[in-house]
A and B are shown apart, each in its own frame.
Chain A
Amino acid sequence: MSYLEKIDPITFEVLRHRLWAINDEAAANLKVISGSPVATESFDFNTSILNARGEAFVIGPYIASHAIGQGIIVRYILAEYGDNPGIGEGDMFLCNNPYMGALHQNDVTVVAPVHWQGELIAWTGATIHQVDVGGASKGSQASLGAQSIFEEAPPIPPIKIVEKGTIRRDLELEYLLRSRTRDLNALDLRAKIASNSVAKRRIGELVERYGLETVKATMEGIVEYTATLLKAKLRELPDGVWRHVSYIDFENRIYSCRATMTKSGDSLTFDYRETDAQAPAVINCAYSGLEAGILAGVLPLLCCDIPWSPAGVLKAVEILSRPGTVVHAEWPAGVCKATTAGSFMATNLATACLAKMLAASPDHRDHAMALWIGATPVQELFGVDHRGEPFGATILDGMAGGAGARTYRDGVDTGGFIRSLSCVIANVETYEYRYPILYLCRRQEMDTGGAGKFRGGVGISMKYIPHDVDQLATSIMHSFGVEQPTSAGLSGGYPGGTNQYLLLRDSNVHTLLADGLLPVELEEMKGQLEVLPAASERSINRGDVYACFTSGGGGYGDPLLRDPQLVWSDVQNGLVSSRAASGMYGVFLGADGIVDQALTGELRQQIRQQRIAREV
């Protein structure tokens, strides 16, 4: 390998580990200063180290996609800012413009050049999802009704927020002014600046100790090393073409998103050109979201045993897209929900194609997975709380969807979503302490996992009522995959369920509670059921019950091949209903709840006959 001509392999290994540790330290600094639940509980942030060309080669184990955005921002700065305003020692740039790299406006990024004796040798980057960055809609990421980016939170191009080591007060104010959470954004800005500073300092110390050429060789080497490992794996996989299509439902329209993946030798091409034209606003992603979304699929599917070094991974990956589409929007289309819409979809499509390829390889089949939850239902709540103070909340329970089935085992129940493997949901007690709500239930939801020889993990569901207040004034509920499932099955497995938002209006819940009953099922209560679309805004009043169901993961293989004992056990554990046991799996449970082998055989035979008879 060419980089090993410039550096001995032991030093390379030591420095490689050290650079990952430096990035770790940068991320730790960020978390320590920020202290916000977004950074320290949801882990919706990331730090990276990039080479002088703006390619991220070391990233933290958080949201991988942020590193792609940082790279695009750096490359924009390199291309446009060299002479004006210039890229000097001690400068840092802030950007949240999705058309220049940020994934959506909430992902405010700070990147910093690293100089050594006047030479630009690397960059560092830090991104945190900010709770609010302005715009007409509270929370900034679901500007329902927007017709372009102009009605969304205003994007900021790269601005030199730190000049020669000092924060520019004018630019800081210009950035903070528009936010409803100014103090939090100010603290997070300091966290990002500190994280970049520490990474820069440590890289400097490394150069001092080992010499510039050695550190440079390591930085290049990590890219080459990762690319070598990935290409070797690609060569072991079958050549071929795989396709997937999926849909985003938004404001009375269905947007088709299509990918064709071609694998030939040691290269992988993702072609997203057949995707529908962009929406006016909200759900699209810019190119940054597409590249980040594809990477977020390639890393967990192909790189479980390869370092997550984006620049190296991208050496083997080519992306074809058409400007003006949902997954590669053109200015001035809005993109404020990109990370939970267009970019998320890009991940779904990539994951589905990769899974089909892995499933076709006898050696790598055990790395294939059906799709994990394909769209996370999010809820933003605003109102006046039980202390009489205004509050804003993002309820993230919907992250607890189901994981996709594996080729040898069921998917993880309430396993989360694949773009953030370490995500956490808050405890019910935390939400109830912070916000004026009372949960009737939060549980794993039966029949939400896709049926299959191995079942998709089930999703979560929850129901709550306003508590100690008369009204939750504003509830913005946004997702997709409400009209159709998004977590596809694999090799004959069924998709997971759809996401659902429901309101049981004017119910008798308070009468029941007063009578000493604790209703959990909607059927236990009376009221008018309002079924909501994928994105809507409502008030929730006293007497109303809010309910949300998330999708499970896709299944793997024909459900008629599932071991009837596993179906029995799922029924015992409340993960599959007895109706689905017979209808989907062809398993007949006798009156005593035990599998009736003979009748199961007959039932399965019947279902097969029906399938043959069905017209295609």
Chain B
Amino acid sequence: MREFIAVDTGGTFTDCVIILEDGRVVHDKAPSTPEDPSQGVMASIANAAKRLDLTVEELLARASVFAHGSTVGLNALCTRNGARTGLLTTRGHEDAILIGRVQQKVAGLGEKEMTYAVRLDKAQPLVPKERIKGISERVDYKGAIIVQLNEAEVEQAADQLVAQGVEAVAICFLWSFMNKSHEQRAKAIIRQKYPQLFVSASSELAPLINEYERTSTTTINTYLGPKVSQYVNALGDKLSGGGLAAPFLVMQSMGGVVPAAEAAFQAVNILSSGPVGGVMGTAFLGKALGLANIIATDVGGTSFDVGLVVNGQPMEAKAPVFEQYRVLSPMVDVVSIGAGGGSIAWVEPNSGLLQVGPQSAGAYPGPACYGRGGTELTVTDADLLLGRINPDYFFTGRIRLDRSRSEEAASRLAGQLGMDGIQVAKGVVDIVDAHMADLVRKVTIERGYDPRDFAIFAYGGGGPTHVGAYGRDVGVKQAVISPFAPVFSAFGIAGADIVRFYGRSSPMLLPFNLVTVNEIFVELEAQARQDLEMRGVQGAEVRIARFVEMKYRRQTHEVKVAVPMGQLDAAAIEGVVDQFETEYERIYGKGTGYRAAGIELTNFRVTSTYIIPKPELESLATADYPVDRAYKGTRPVFFSTGFIDATVWDADLLRPQHGIEGPAIIESMATTVVVHPGQKVTVDSFGNLLLQFQ
């Protein structure tokens, strides 16, 4: 048997998804165990195995791949629980990571936090100043050595750092991506004297221009390396002890997975968490459905996350930020706001206006209706009061909702607002839906796309409940609700291929130096092939692709363009430049190209993809029974002006060719779809519900 097993560790739950050889998908979850996340991983596998009447050992033995999304690195970064780290820089530039281009104080913040001037602060340093050592050495923009590396200073710095108790050392010198000899020599000196230290050099990890971001990237990588390595090794032992013989893979921030052994040396590239997995799931399912352009929307307990899939690929973030540090690691672009099922409604004291979020009741105590001590009205409470969700049938039935507590919470606000409780609930839902629509619009338009050209995927606990409103508002034609929506991140990890990213900066102006261009691609590809060979992989399953990032000189928008393989001649370069100009105008509008200023090539990139053959997802047979069998009755649901009777349907009994017209509610143990009047739902061959807006 060849089963694909994926486990995603989230904040509250650890999800396990299994794609069986016949294309069926089985999933389950277990509570996350932050103290030792591997326990939650094993428990979720055990729960999923039970659904197949297998033991953990039996299941692991049948696996052909085990893929894992982990937040161990991110948690260690957020709690400043990484290795004691030292940093070597070029003398005179020790403070680059502390200055953080000034912008560090607002990096990653929302607009409201950004303008709260008195509360702004830089990141709490990963490496305090006393452990940053400036070394006499200097390379210039051409890669020419201006001052030779002072080796005695390197040794002295290493001695001092070891005396200061460091376990890991990061090295980032100016222009090291143009000439890596100084960094390599410094690394060798340290390794020779102190072989026990974890050492990471920027010219190996991220040989890319911009010293602040390159230093952050290298420092984070060094800070987390030992921790991630420890976790991956321990979990690997547990899994192989449990009978896993198949490759153990780890999810990366830019989609794709890598063998766990490699992950330890690039901890900064696997910082991503659930939201990225969701976009990967969107791309995976989109491929099966033949959809190339998709807006991925995730309504969770505390946040609303939006990502884009364009031409089948998750969109890459321009400058990802972790804990206020801007890094050069490629990452799937996900934008979040504090709007989710747990978002709290409140009345602003001085204006008397109703507001929703960004504060959230989270999973604990959660919405008032959970009955775990939460007393404030949340979006989930409002959904309940409007009849949109079923109190006896929420979150796989694990939580029985108490409507009276929602009523109490609403009536408290109603008194302050001079409305009744239902009006308050309707207000809460309208406000949160509008905020979500505004974010979807912002994310697509800012990246040069029109949301009306996209399909929208809705997942997470509240996505299917709210997409009928925010999807309609932004003007998409169709929303897709997958039966795997509740475990979409793990589903995305299960569908991932092994992808490795290689990049190097060598800024140059048109006309480009063909020799240099060819040399750099040859070098990057050699590295890619070497990594593949080390894993014993070659042949047809491997795809290597080249890209360059280009921009108009004196302008800032970089555009990534595909480059043909093989030796490049002048004609090939001309083709690349043409493609850049076409793509630039497509994204930024006709007439925005600025050729007169010249064209600059900044980064060379190569990706290698090892395609893991996966079973085709199971197709459902078309319905051999009428849709009536899924009919559960009617219940009053509040839509735009008042309660009307909506039909209620069992999602698990819906089959291809069934169709339902709104107003309707479609329920399963895991999700509730709200179909507004005038909207229509059909079912596709994979069991996805397709919500049509026209």
Spell out A's residues near B (CB within 8 Å): 1, 9-10, 12-14, 17-18, 21, 24-25, 28-29, 32-33, 35-37, 40-41, 61, 183-184, 187, 190, 194, 225, 228-229, 232-233, 299-301, 303-305, 308, 366-369, 387, 399-400, 403, 406, 409, 412-416, 418, 421-430, 432-433, 438-444, 460, 463, 467-468, 513, 516-518, 520, 572-574
> CA separation between A276 and B39, bound complex, in Å?
72
B211 within 8 A of A: yes
B594 within 8 A of A: yes
Within 8 A of A (CB), among B297-350: 348, 350
Within 8 A of A (CB), among B539-568: 551-552, 554-557
In the complex, what's the smallest C-beta–C-beta distance from A406 to chain B, in angstroms? 6
A424 near B102 (CB under 8 angstroms)?
yes
Binds A, one of B352-360, B459-467, B491-499: B352-360
A444 near B99 (CB under 8 angstroms)?
yes
B-side contacts of A430, CB under 8 Å: 209-210
A518 near B115 (CB under 8 angstroms)?
no
Residue among A229, A308, A518 with the highest chain B CB neighbour number at 10 A: A518
> CA separation between A413 and B150, bound complex, in Å?
30
> Among the listed B426, B445, B551, which residue makes an inter-chain contact with A10, where contact means beta carbons less than 8 Å apart?
B426
Known: A228-B351, A414-B102, A444-B95. A422 touches B557 (CB 8 A): no
B98 near A194 (CB under 8 angstroms)?
no
B556 near A14 (CB under 8 angstroms)?
no
> CA separation between A183 and B553, bound complex, in Å?
12
> CA separation between A440 and B442, bound complex, in Å?
42
In the complex, what's the smallest C-beta–C-beta distance from A33 to chain B, in angstroms? 5
A423 near B102 (CB under 8 angstroms)?
yes
A433 near B435 (CB under 8 angstroms)?
no
> CA separation between A425 and B210, bound complex, in Å?
12
Bin the interface of chain B by size: 35 or more
A520 near B555 (CB under 8 angstroms)?
no
> Among the listed B114, B120, B442, B551, which residue makes an inter-chain contact with A28, where contact means beta carbons less than 8 Å apart?
B442
Name 26 interchain pairs, CB-CB below 8 A, sorted by A.
Answer: A1-B351, A9-B354, A9-B417, A12-B353, A13-B355, A18-B434, A33-B589, A35-B588, A36-B556, A300-B115, A304-B118, A308-B115, A367-B118, A400-B99, A413-B98, A414-B95, A415-B105, A416-B102, A425-B103, A427-B96, A429-B141, A430-B209, A438-B138, A516-B147, A518-B136, A518-B137
> CA separation between A548 and B460, bound complex, in Å?
53
> CA separation between A463 and B352, bound complex, in Å?
54
B-side contacts of A427, CB under 8 Å: 96, 101, 209-213
Within 8 A of A (CB), among B111-128: 111, 114-122, 128
> CA separation between A61 and B114, bound complex, in Å?
8
B150 near A412 (CB under 8 angstroms)?
no
> CA separation between A301 and B117, bound complex, in Å?
7
A17 near B92 (CB under 8 angstroms)?
no
Known: A183-B594, A516-B136, A572-B129. A441 touches B92 (CB 8 A): yes
> CA separation between A18 and B434, bound complex, in Å?
8
Residue among B102, B210, B587, B596 with the highest chain A CB neighbour number at 10 A: B102
B592 near A187 (CB under 8 angstroms)?
yes
Known: A21-B438, A25-B445, A428-B174. A406 touches B95 (CB 8 A): no
Known: A25-B445, A32-B448, A400-B102. A37 touches B556 (CB 8 A): yes
A-side contacts of B130, CB under 8 Å: 572-573
B-side contacts of A517, CB under 8 Å: 136, 147
In the complex, what's the smallest C-beta–C-beta distance from B359 to chain A, in angstroms? 13
Known: A32-B446, A416-B105, A422-B106. A10 touches B354 (CB 8 A): yes
B618 within 8 A of A: no
B-side contacts of A228, CB under 8 Å: 350-351
> CA separation between A25 and B443, bound complex, in Å?
10
B24 within 8 A of A: no
B147 near A433 (CB under 8 angstroms)?
no
Within 8 A of A (CB), among B402-461: 417, 423, 426-427, 430-431, 434-435, 438, 441-442, 445-446, 448
In the complex, what's the smallest C-beta–C-beta distance from A158 to chain B, in angstroms? 25
> CA separation between A513 and B146, bound complex, in Å?
7
> CA separation between A468 and B141, bound complex, in Å?
10
> CA separation between A204 and B280, bound complex, in Å?
37
Known: A40-B556, A304-B118. A28 touches B138 (CB 8 A): no
> CA separation between A33 and B552, bound complex, in Å?
12
Within 8 A of A (CB), among B476-516: 507, 509
B122 near A412 (CB under 8 angstroms)?
yes
B-side contacts of A32, CB under 8 Å: 446, 448, 557, 587-589, 592
In the complex, what's the smallest C-beta–C-beta distance from B388 to chain A, in angstroms? 17
A229 near B350 (CB under 8 angstroms)?
yes
Within 8 A of A (CB), among B164-203: 174-175
B597 within 8 A of A: yes
The 6 A-B residue pairs with the shortest CB-CB distance in the complex, in nearest-first order:
A441-B92, A300-B117, A10-B427, A35-B555, A232-B350, A21-B438
> CA separation between A399 and B551, bound complex, in Å?
26
B148 within 8 A of A: yes
B591 within 8 A of A: yes
> Among the listed A24, A35, A399, A572, which residue makes an inter-chain contact with B557, where contact means beta carbons less than 8 Å apart?
A35
Q: Which residue of B lies closest to A396 (CB)?
A: B102
A33 near B141 (CB under 8 angstroms)?
no
B-side contacts of A572, CB under 8 Å: 129-130
> Among the listed B140, B148, B591, which residue makes an inter-chain contact with A516, where contact means beta carbons less than 8 Å apart?
B148
B-side contacts of A28, CB under 8 Å: 442, 445-446
In the complex, what's the smallest C-beta–C-beta distance from A52 to chain B, in angstroms? 23
Residue among B348, B434, B551, B594 with the highest chain A CB neighbour number at 10 A: B434
B-side contacts of A24, CB under 8 Å: 442
**Known A35-B552, A433-B209; 18 more pairs at CB < 8 Å:** A10-B426, A13-B355, A13-B434, A14-B431, A17-B434, A32-B588, A35-B588, A183-B594, A183-B597, A421-B106, A427-B96, A428-B174, A439-B92, A444-B98, A516-B150, A517-B147, A518-B138, A518-B147
Q: Which residue of A lies closest to B117 (CB)?
A: A300
B632 within 8 A of A: no
Known: A183-B596, A423-B102. A443 touches B146 (CB 8 A): no
B-side contacts of A304, CB under 8 Å: 115-119
Known: A366-B118, A425-B102. A13 touches B129 (CB 8 A): no
In the complex, what's the smallest C-beta–C-beta distance from B103 to chain A, in angstroms? 4
> CA separation between A430 and B96, bound complex, in Å?
13
B117 near A421 (CB under 8 angstroms)?
yes
> CA separation between A36 and B554, bound complex, in Å?
7
B93 within 8 A of A: yes
Q: Which residue of B lies closest to A10 (CB)?
A: B427
B431 near A13 (CB under 8 angstroms)?
yes
> Among the listed A406, A423, A428, which residue makes an inter-chain contact with B211, where contact means beta carbons less than 8 Å apart?
A428
> CA separation between A520 and B150, bound complex, in Å?
15
> Among the listed A299, A426, A432, which residue makes an inter-chain contact with B115, where contact means beta carbons less than 8 Å apart?
A299
Within 8 A of A (CB), among B42-99: 90-96, 98-99
B-side contacts of A36, CB under 8 Å: 554-556
Known: A32-B588, A416-B105, A442-B96. A429 touches B211 (CB 8 A): yes
B442 near A9 (CB under 8 angstroms)?
no
A414 near B99 (CB under 8 angstroms)?
yes
B-side contacts of A463, CB under 8 Å: 92
In the complex, what's the smallest C-beta–C-beta distance from A306 to chain B, in angstroms? 9
A425 near B101 (CB under 8 angstroms)?
yes
A442 near B442 (CB under 8 angstroms)?
no
B140 near A438 (CB under 8 angstroms)?
yes
B-side contacts of A574, CB under 8 Å: 129
A433 near B430 (CB under 8 angstroms)?
no
A37 near B351 (CB under 8 angstroms)?
no
> Among the listed B101, B111, B118, B591, which residue makes an inter-chain contact with A406, where contact means beta carbons less than 8 Å apart?
B118
> CA separation between A32 and B441, bound complex, in Å?
15
A-side contacts of B96, CB under 8 Å: 427-428, 442
Q: Which residue of B lies closest to A445 (CB)?
A: B95
> CA separation between A400 and B98, bound complex, in Å?
12
B-side contacts of A425, CB under 8 Å: 99, 101-103
> Among the listed A9, A194, A424, A518, which residue makes an inter-chain contact with B91, where contact means beta carbons less than 8 Å apart?
A518
